[in-house]
Amino acid sequence: MVMIKDLADHHGLISDIFKWPKSRDAWEQYRLSDEQVAHFHEYGYLSGIKLLDEKQVDMLRKELEEVMDPDHPAHELFYEFHSNESENPDAVLFHSLGHWRITPGFHDVLWNPAFVMAAYQLLENRPVRFWHDQLFCKPAKHGGVVAWHQDYSYWTRTIAMQHLTCWTGLDDATIENGCLHYIPKSHKWGLLDAPALAGDMNGLMAYLTEEQKAEFKPVAIELKKGYAAFHHPLLVHGSYENKSEISRRAFVLNVFADGTVSNTDQELLAGVPIIHKGKKMEGKFFPLLFP
């Protein structure tokens, strides 16, 4: 019997892919400017933040190829694994959660200094706690859509709403290969009364007011590989199909401010012990990342 090592047992860097700063001065290189933080709060997002160099991207691409194999020996550690989450078999969208438990690189991106410092600032200088990770892959000429949605609509099982999403490309993300699109300032609309509409790109439109429809002006978030975009949990966003000759691979890190509590007596993530309603989100699967 093969013994599977769960990397969730380690809260901190376990490889040399990143270096944890040793002094206050060493952290300064990772700080966002006041203008960047202000842009996030005004528009609901901040893009173009470099989180990875070429070597780090290559390492994560290699690990991604490994974990996409349904026969990977640590497959049982995934919270979710969808070789094709699209309802259309001709429009592939690979999506998974839980790979931070499986490979050193995807484990250590949680403690990437550039990521945790930005998250800390965008959460209004509150301690950052991990929620869960995601992988999204759209093959060349064959990528499904991610319909317009708000992340927090899937996360109401945790309160208060003090969450943050970070999307990082492992390929250059362009309009042609299905980059993210944001609706600026839509984070000020509140939580929309809309069901999950997987595969129906414009299904959300039926739930918007006429004023919201008038303000619905998508902005394409094109990014070079290794660069990230952060967005508010209520920001409406989505991505179109990949029409290009290159893949569009990315990972997502979801975090919340320390002090967030469970809002359910049900399982929060598949295989994770229940944290009962009103109890603080913490422990092995929800580590404190920074400071």
Residues in the chain predicted with pLDDT less than 50, given as ranges, are 1-2, 92
pLDDT value at residue 92: 47
- Asked if residue 277 lies in contact with residue 262, where contact means CB atoms within 8 angstroms, the answer is yes
pLDDT value at residue 273: 97
DSSP string computed for 197-220: -TT-TTGGGGGS-HHHHHT---EE
Q: Which two tokens stand for residue 261?
A: 């509590």
Average model confidence (pLDDT) across the chain:
93
pTM of the model: 0.93
145-169 residue pLDDT tens: 889 999 999 999 999 999 999 999 9
Which residue(s) pair with 130 in the sheet? 255
* Domain spans of the chain, in order of start: 33-69+78-263
Query: Rounded to the nearest 5°, which phi and psi values hold at 2?
Result: -80, 125
- Asked if residue 184 lies in contact with residue 217, where contact means CB atoms within 8 angstroms, the answer is yes
Q: Which two tokens stand for residue 43?
A: 């528009």
In angstroms, rounded to a whole number, what is the distance separating the alpha carbons of residues 77 and 60?
Answer: 18
pLDDT value at residue 63: 96
pLDDT value at residue 196: 61
200-258 residue pLDDT tens: 788 899 899 999 999 999 999 999 999 999 999 999 999 999 999 999 999 999 999 99
At the topology level of CATH, where does 33-69+78-263 sit?
Jelly Rolls (2.60.120)
- Asked if residue 182 lies in contact with residue 237, where contact means CB atoms within 8 angstroms, the answer is yes
Stretch (H or E) spanning 38: helix 34-43
Please report the sign of the dihedral spanned by the C-alpha atoms of residue 4, residue 8, residue 14, residue 15: positive
In angstroms, rounded to a whole number, what is the distance separating the alpha carbons of residues 234 and 160?
Answer: 13
pLDDT value at residue 194: 74
